[in-house]
Amino acid sequence: MLNVFGRKMSLCVLELMSAVFFMLVNICSTMFGFTILLFMIRSLVSMNFNVVYIYTAEVYPTAVRSLGLGFCTSFSRIGGMVAPFIAQVLMSHSVMLAMMPFALACVLCAVGSFLLPIETKGRALLQSS
């Protein structure tokens, strides 16, 4: 997918699909369907993380690659630690309220990915700044 559509388009599509699946959880009526959707969301979020990992390594030159990658990774880990607390608090009120921040974050990330100025598909890694 990365080599065919490019990094930016892959990020946008995966993030929008994640948002759609987050909202599909709201209309799911069975526990089996809920479980399937949660596993689909988890796999989509994992794919997003991997694309961001690849894209970040390709955008930054060698001199700052580790700093840029570490910065992005640390924010994703912080989000991963905070997310269960947000979901647990909001889930006590309603499922839709619990899924809305995650779907909104996915849509905002898709827009941000679309607006990124650099597409790294087919480009060599930068060796200097």
Of 108 and 3, more confident:
108
Q: What are the tens digits of pLDDT across the range 74-84?
A: 888 898 888 88
Q: What are the tens digits of pLDDT across the range 18-58?
A: 999 989 988 887 889 888 998 999 999 899 888 888 887 78
Find the mean pLDDT for residues 74-101: 83
Listed in sequence order, the residues at least 6 apart from 100 whose beta carbon sits closer than 8 Å to its beta carbon are 90
DSSP per residue over 75-125, as a string?
HHHHHHHHHHHHHHHHHTT-HHHHHHHHHHHHHHHHHHHHT-S---TTPPP
What pLDDT sits at residue 14?
93
Confidence check: pLDDT of 128 > 70: no
What pLDDT sits at residue 21?
92
What pLDDT sits at residue 127?
66
AA letter at 91: M
